[in-house]
């Protein structure tokens, strides 16, 4: 006897998962908590029918569970965009019971807002790229603390480029600090050296991981793209061929204007509040390099400035156009990724 087809919604938590199973007519066949293990979830659902499709909220750890259900249980499963799902709820209350039911019902009717389920290799690369960025952020914070300490003691910095060996040598020998401030400064300088070494080690590891990656090689062949930009694009975007157009890629990167039009009022409200912040920042930095070094983008930027556009808007517009043009060059490489 064939089992009835069912749809499953999974509300993910660290130790347990709320699982809702509904049939084709939307009737709830079960809504309960299961152990956070693909075997327990698969057994619980198998007693209620044959899983046609499932959805799980996109959060930390959810992708690993989803991949296990796809690989070992043979499920067809999608990651759900939590922001869109939350806005689609008619009930202001939030419960695990209701969230799992909502995910199952959206999957049943085909209205689930989906997020790409990146393969394990991309998720690992993404973790490594973000780890490097965390180290860079922490090093920047240490530099700000050092300069705040000098400013607090009214010590004028040595002329020349800061953070060079010569500048750090001057920093180690500067006078005018109290006993405790000098001790704090030495600790900051030691932390700075430690973070610099850790960043260098992370970059060496990243270079080794992507040494044979065709997409990273293709990205680094582009004008204005260095290793860090290529690593970030590869990790955060994954594959360009999963998008239908360059406009979709630009929107994913958070580089599209946000429309706030209503009736006869037509207006923009800056960039959309979506996408990876490090990805958008990396593309904006690449835009400034392209404006300085590439004749095509430089001409476009100067023309926009001449029309009265602010420089920050120009950089975002260049980034939007650049990533859309990059899509057509990188899309064929996705087949080999």
Q: Give 141-158 pLDDT, tens digit per residue.
A: 999 999 999 999 888 888
Q: Where are the beta strands (DSSP E) in the chain?
A: 5-12, 16-23, 28-35, 50-57, 77-80, 114-115, 257-259, 268-271
Higher pLDDT, 68 or 332: 68
What pLDDT was estimated at residue 269? 64
Sheet holding 77-80, edge to edge: 28-35, 16-23, 5-12, 50-57, 77-80, 114-115
Q: What is the tens place of the pLDDT at every residue in 122-146? A: 999 999 999 999 999 999 999 999 9
pLDDT in tens, 192-248: 999 999 999 999 999 999 999 999 999 999 988 999 999 999 999 999 999 999 999
Whether the Cβ atoms of residue 191 and residue 185 lie closer than 8 Å to each other: no
Model pTM? 0.87
Encode pLDDT of 39-51 as tens digits: 999 999 999 999 9
pLDDT of res. 336: 47
pLDDT for residue 264 is more than 70: no
- With H, G, I as helix, E, B as strand and everything else as coil, classify residue 78: strand
pLDDT at 335: 47
pLDDT digits (tens, 9 = 90+) for 110-123: 999 888 889 999 99
User: What CA–CA distance (Å, rounded) separates 67 from 122?
Assistant: 13
Mean pLDDT across the chain, nearest whole number? 89
Degrees to nearest 5, angle at CA 316 with 267 and 232: 135
């Amino acid at each position: 006897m064939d089992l009835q087809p069912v749809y499953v919604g999974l509300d993910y938590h660290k130790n347990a998962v709320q699982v809702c199973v509904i049939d084709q007519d939307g009737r709830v066949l079960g809504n309960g908590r299961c152990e956070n293990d693909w075997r327990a979830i698969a057994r619980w659902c198998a007693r209620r029918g044959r899983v046609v499709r499932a959805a799980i909220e996109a959060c930390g750890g959810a992708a690993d569970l989803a991949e296990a259900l796809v690989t070992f249980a043979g499920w067809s499963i999608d990651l759900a965009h939590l922001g869109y799902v939350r806005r689609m709820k008619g009930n202001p209350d939030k419960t695990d019971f209701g969230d799992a039911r909502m995910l199952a019902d959206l999957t049943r009717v085909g209205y689930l807002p989906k997020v790409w389920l990146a393969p394990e290799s991309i998720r690992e690369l993404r973790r490594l790229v973000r780890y490097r960025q965390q180290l860079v952020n922490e090093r920047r914070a240490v530099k700000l603390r050092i300069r705040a300490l000098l400013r607090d003691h009214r010590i004028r910095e040595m002329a020349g480029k800061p953070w060079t060996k010569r500048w750090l040598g001057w920093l180690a020998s500067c006078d005018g600090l109290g006993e405790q401030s000098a001790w704090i400064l030495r600790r900051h300088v030691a932390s700075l050296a430690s973070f610099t070494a850790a960043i260098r080690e992370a970059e060496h590891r990243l270079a080794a991981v992507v040494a044979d990656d065709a997409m990273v090689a293709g990205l680094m062949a582009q004008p204005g793209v260095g290793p860090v930009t290529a690593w970030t694009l590869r990790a955060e975007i994954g594959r360009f061929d999963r998008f239908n157009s360059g406009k979709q890629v630009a929107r994913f990167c958070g580089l599209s204007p946000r429309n706030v039009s209503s009736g006869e009022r037509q207006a923009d409200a800056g960039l959309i509040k979506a996408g990876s912040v490090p990805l958008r920042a990396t593309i904006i930095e690449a835009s400034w390099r392209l404006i300085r070094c590439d004749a095509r983008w430089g001409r476009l930027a100067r023309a926009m400035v001449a029309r009265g556009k602010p420089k920050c808007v120009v950089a975002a517009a260049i980034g939007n156009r650049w990533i859309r043009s990059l899509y057509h060059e990188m899309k064929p490489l996705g087949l080999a990724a």
